[in-house]
Amino acid sequence: MSARRRPQQAPARVRTPRATSADLPGWVIYLLLVVLTFIAYAPLFTATGGWLWDDEGHVTKAALKSVGGLRRIWFDIGSTQQYYPVVHSAFWLESRLFGTVNPMPYHAVSVLLHASSAFLFFRILRTLAIPGAIAGALIFALHPVHVESVAWTSELKNTLSCVFFLGAALTYLRFESTRVTRALGLSLFLFVLAILSKSVTATLPVALLAVVWWRRGGLEWRRDLLPLLPMVIAGIAAGLTTVWFERTLIGAEGVEFEFSFVERALIAGRAVWFYAASLIWPAGLSFNYLRWQVSQTIWWQYLFPLGALAVVGVLWRLRLRGALAGVLVFSIVLAPALGFVNVYPFRFSFVADHFQYHASVGLIALVAAALARFATQRRAGIFTIRAGLAALCVLLLALTMPVAARYVDGPTLYQATIRENPDSWLAHNNLAALYVTGPAPNLPAAVTHARAALRLFPQYAEARYNLAVALDDSGDTAGAIREYRTLLDQLGEQSDFRQRRASTSARLGFALARNGRPGEAVAYLREAARLNPGNALTFVNLGGALLEQRHIQEAQQALEQAVALDPSMVDAYYNLGAAYLAGGRAPDAIRAYEAALRLRPGDPQLLAALARAKQMAGIR
């Protein structure tokens, strides 16, 4: 990039037909976009839906719902799944307004934000005098590839950050034309909100440079690069923070992420073509795509990155600066999701629809401009243009509404994913988990889907755990014990799986105790208590197993710990009473049983145990 002043070239302009949008007030266009977007996502509001996958991990936890929790969201790194404090502040506010039971109000907020981004995109296209502004806004608002970002509550980070992202871009373009410092300051403020909502927006200053280059045919250090320097610095800081967060706290490292630079380039080249194709021809959209095999020894995989470079070269050679700028914006904003840095979802697939949410504006602008130019060449009148826009809306609604309907609840989404991608071990496992613990358990189906996930990915610890639990709950204790043991061998001593080892050891210990093997059970329950000393149920089961082994004092200690951890557990008091009786401490047993009866008045088993304790204590 040269800092020397180049001869100014006016960007090529195409005379557009009589305005289809300029004759409407901005508020009318915004209202139209809001109404159409809500129609597109109507399936989310016509069914009793539920949270998806990790939604409940993102929606504000009970421990963070106070004012102090809001402070932790900003200053306690690790208190939320990702350090996006603006997004989690929005979740904090939503949880206080709407609660955390019904996702429908959360959907409404995301749909409204998405429509707002479409309107800002319209304003940007108008500011840049790019023809087809209203078509571009409609495509952005109603394109089915954006459903994942809008309908999946966890992706509030996409819909919220995009409002700030496009708002910062629009404000900067005004500064670029007027050189009013206040506009630059507002743009920087909106940009900071954007990167604190999602760090992919850190690409904005580079994308803006591509747009400025397109408008004037060159770049100058003082005029064009210097004003964007604060954005660049803030963006680098946000990007580095996210990289550290993904690796350290989320787990985006390990064998699934071990690629050479060449392999990462192969991933990036193929991903760019995948995203461009799904924008142009949105068939076969899926929540989870096949994670393709990458190898630098397979010649045809080099065709993807070479093809992408060839497109850029041809556009440059033909001096198609507008098309090149659109392709560059698309590629620049997409860059953080192309595989050069590790992000956790790469465990499941190298591509995801929500990765291209912000980047899509680059190619959509090109498509919208092409449609407008076609209308101009055909000398289309106002009626024809508006009929064409109406047809475009109908087509996009017909494509988007069925995709949105998949996101009403987990089972619907994962079943649709398996139809599109039968080899999705993620969808099979998530469906198994829902059938084990969800509101409508289906243990045979859970076993089937967990086995399918393991057939596709034999080392998938979550699927092994769900299979073991499904077998356990369905009465196949022997099969469950076998799977629990296999899983513990698979997990080893890896610190990343501490919680999974704890839960697996606890379940295995309980299964062994129920199977009449308390001696074996004690060892696993002790391990579970060591790994997760805050789990009261583990101490209840440990106390019961120790009691069967006649380790009375240790049983009492374990059960006393259970009561201390959770004073509302009836079983803890009941077992503690039994342990006290076995140790000859009838008065203490009486107090334990009375505490249990306060929690469960009139329970015949507790009343009988209390009577027995009183008899031993000589009380009538």
Residue with tokens 């309107």, as numbered in its chain: 119
What is the structure's pLDDT at 83? 85
What's the whole-number average pLDDT of the chain?
89
What is the structure's pLDDT at 495? 55
Q: Contacts by 371-378 with C-beta closer than 8 Å and gap 24+? A: 371/132, 371/135, 372/14, 372/16, 372/17, 372/131, 372/132, 372/135, 373/14, 373/131, 373/132, 375/17, 376/14, 376/15, 376/16, 376/17, 376/131
What is the structure's pLDDT at 577? 87
* DSSP of 218-265: S--IIIIIGGGHHHHHHHHHHHHHHHHHIIIII---SGGG---HHHHH
What is the structure's pLDDT at 231? 95
What is the structure's pLDDT at 7? 45
Res. 569: pLDDT tops 50:
yes
Separation between Cα atoms, residue 101 and residue 104, nearest integer Å: 9
Q: Which of 538, 579, 535 is nearest to 593 (CA)?
A: 579
Residue 9: phi and psi, rounded to 5, are -125, 130
Name the pLDDT band for 494 (thresholds 50, 70, 90).
low
What is the structure's pLDDT at 2? 40
Q: For 156-182, how does the pLDDT look when each residue is reduced to its tens digit (9 = 90+)?
A: 999 999 999 999 999 999 999 898 999
Residue 80: phi and psi, rounded to 5, are -120, 165
Strands (E) in 300-414, as ranges, are none
What is the structure's pLDDT at 12? 44
Measured CA to CA in angstroms, residue 69 lies from 98, 154, 155, 242 at distances of: 17, 19, 21, 21
Q: For 290-326, how does the pLDDT look when each residue is reduced to its tens digit (9 = 90+)?
A: 999 999 999 999 999 999 999 999 999 999 999 999 9
Q: How many helices (H) and strands (E) does the chain have?
A: 28, 0
Residue with tokens 């099979």, as numbered in its chain: 428
What is the structure's pLDDT at 155? 93
Question: Under a CB-based contact definition with an 8 Å cutoff, are residues 198 and 157 in contact?
Answer: yes
Q: Which of 52, 496, 502, 494 is nearest to 484 (CA)?
A: 502
Q: Where are the domains of the chain?
A: 27-59+100-406
Q: Which of 405, 411, 354 is nearest to 39 (CA)?
A: 405
Separation between Cα atoms, residue 421 and residue 286, nearest integer Å: 7
Q: Which of 389, 327, 378, 360 is nearest to 135 (CA)?
A: 389
Separation between Cα atoms, residue 360 and residue 474, nearest integer Å: 47
Of 6-10, 396-400, 584-588, which has the strongest mean pLDDT? 396-400
Q: For 518-558, how does the pLDDT look when each residue is reduced to its tens digit (9 = 90+)?
A: 888 899 999 988 988 988 899 988 988 898 888 999 988 99
Point out the least confidently predicted range of 32-46, 80-94, 450-464: 80-94
User: Which residue type does 390 have?
Assistant: A
DSSP secondary structure letter of residue 492? T
What is the structure's pLDDT at 620? 66
Instruction: Please give the model's pTM, rounded to 2 decimal places.
Output: 0.87
What is the structure's pLDDT at 493? 67
What is the structure's pLDDT at 497? 73
Measured CA to CA in angstroms, residue 392 lies from 136, 140, 142, 563 at distances of: 11, 12, 10, 64
Separation between Cα atoms, residue 583 and residue 600, nearest integer Å: 25
Work out the end-to-end distance of the chain between its first and last CA atoms, rounded to an integer number of angstroms.
Answer: 95
Measured CA to CA in angstroms, residue 255 lies from 107, 259, 346 at distances of: 36, 9, 11
User: Which residue type does 158 have?
Assistant: N
What is the structure's pLDDT at 24? 78
Point out the least confidently predicted range of 71-85, 242-256, 395-409, 592-606: 242-256
Res. 421: pLDDT tops 60:
yes
Name the pLDDT band for 249 (thresholds 50, 70, 90).
low
What is the structure's pLDDT at 183? 93
Residue with tokens 């009866």, as numbered in its chain: 597
Res. 370: pLDDT tops 70:
yes
Residues 6+ apart with CB under 8 A from 221: 3
Q: For 126-145, how does the pLDDT look when each residue is reduced to its tens digit (9 = 90+)?
A: 999 999 999 999 999 999 99
What is the structure's pLDDT at 1? 39
Separation between Cα atoms, residue 52 and residue 88, nearest integer Å: 17
How many angstroms from the chain centroid is the CA of residue 265?
25
Residue with tokens 């507002």, as numbered in its chain: 186
What is the structure's pLDDT at 14? 41
Question: Under a CB-based contact definition with an 8 Å cutoff, are residues 576 and 556 in contact?
Answer: yes
Question: Under a CB-based contact definition with an 8 Å cutoff, are residues 528 and 538 in contact?
Answer: yes
What is the structure's pLDDT at 126? 95
